[in-house]
Homo-oligomer: A and B are copies of this chain.
């Protein structure tokens, strides 16, 4: 096992009716800004539940945060917060609203151009306190320090992370996700699955508990994903998917083990350039990424084949091929297509992506830092 530091102080309130308990988590005299997205929270009852839980509190609202939240939109919230003297943020929505709120929390006290936090890795030395009401199980943003923001003007989708942007609390009520469109649930399953794979499917470091915990999440997603798509009001199935998505990216399964993340880095470019949903990019890139790098990942691919998919027959090469095929089929079976052509994207995007990586100084990605432009080109070629 590798050395690690683990720290995650997010308080989770999980289950039916937990939105009613948020008042106790926010200082009584706080000037609250409630942030949300396109307004689905108004039709599914979450907006009313939040307003009811915070009756009598000082609340301002900021709606309209987009999927892949735009810097340009978030800076408007920063301006409002500074002007109104807001001192607590409440994100109500999915990963995009949460990621956007994290950026806003860091941007408000930031001296200078807040985009530098992402574009130049400018240090975050302070951030506003905030809580979250999660309405879409997928990104794990409710229990981590990660935030991804898109600068619309330049089509750049970049990432930052800081322990100062842990949510103070996150509410996860599976019932609040019953009315989500199937596409968002499908995306959430693929997103959580790929988060696990980025931390699990690397090379062995004799960390059996981390490995088995990762496999537990994968197996639960495989079992519960189809159930929750078939019956969106099956509370337990939805709860299980929601808990998997949080556990997939709260730092635990990645503690003490190598991590990859090249699928995400490549995928982000596909979203930035072509507007694919985040999970669609992962479903496209992961199977090809595993295929191109199967030799260096062979030990873990064989373990994955046996323990997650029960594949024990055939040569090692056959078992690896079958495990990657099962992965692709799973993504397709939950409704997320796995080829660039399914989204009308051609291979002419490859040199553009390579150029963007090089401009940002990425010489190589992955757990061995060997996913160089040549390998990225091979991976994307196989995604056709």
Q: Provided the pairs A3-B18, A212-B216 are in contact, do residues A206 and B11 lie with their beta carbons within 8 angstroms?
A: no
Does A9 reach chain B (CB closer than 8 Å)? Answer: yes
Q: Which of A1-53 contact B (CB under 8 A)?
A: 1-18
A219 at the interface (CB under 8 A from B): yes
CB distance B5 to A236 under 8 Å? no
Residues of B within 8 A of A15 (CB): 1-4, 256
Confirm or deny: A230 has a beta carbon within 8 angstroms of a beta carbon on chain B.
no
A33 to chain B, nearest CB (A): 24
Do residues A12 and B18 form an inter-chain contact, with CB atoms below 8 A?
no
Does residue A122 face the partner (Cβ distance < 8 Å to B)? Answer: no
- Is there a chain B Cβ closer than 8 Å to A314's Cβ? no
Segment among A55-63, A238-246, A291-299, A335-343 that sits at the interface with chain B: A238-246
A243: chain B residues at CB < 8 Å are 1, 207, 209-210, 256
A213 within 8 A of partner (CB)? yes
CB atoms of A224 and B208 under 8 A apart: yes
In this complex, the member of A3, A209, A239, A255 whose beta carbon has the largest number of chain B beta carbons within 10 angstroms is A209
A240–B206 touching, CB < 8 Å = yes
* CB neighbours of A121 from chain B (8 A): none
State which residues 218-255 of A face B: CB under 8 Å: 219-220, 223-224, 236, 239-240, 243-244, 247, 252, 255
**With A209-B240, A216-B213, A243-B209: A7-B9 Cβ-Cβ less than 8 Å:** yes
Q: Is A217 an interface residue (CB 8 A)?
A: yes
Is B11 touching A247 in the complex (CB atoms < 8 A)? no
Number of copies: 2
| Given known A-B contacts A212-B216, A216-B212, A244-B209, A13 and B5 have beta carbons under 8 A apart | yes
Task: Select A255's contact among B14, B213, B236, B256, beta carbons within 8 Å.
Answer: B14
Q: How far is the CA of A222 from the CA of B247 in the complex (A)?
A: 24
Q: List 15 A-B contacts (CB under 8 A).
A: A1-B15, A2-B15, A3-B15, A3-B16, A3-B17, A3-B18, A5-B14, A6-B12, A207-B240, A208-B220, A209-B216, A209-B244, A209-B247, A212-B215, A213-B213
A residues whose Cβ falls under 8 Å from a Cβ of B:
1-18, 206-210, 212-213, 215-217, 219-220, 223-224, 236, 239-240, 243-244, 247, 252, 255-256
Q: A1-B240, A5-B11, A243-B256 are in contact. List 8 more A-B contacts (CB 8 A).
A: A2-B15, A3-B17, A5-B14, A6-B14, A7-B9, A206-B236, A208-B224, A213-B216
Going nearest first, the 5 A-B pairs with the smallest beta carbon separation are: A3-B15, A212-B216, A9-B9, A7-B11, A206-B236
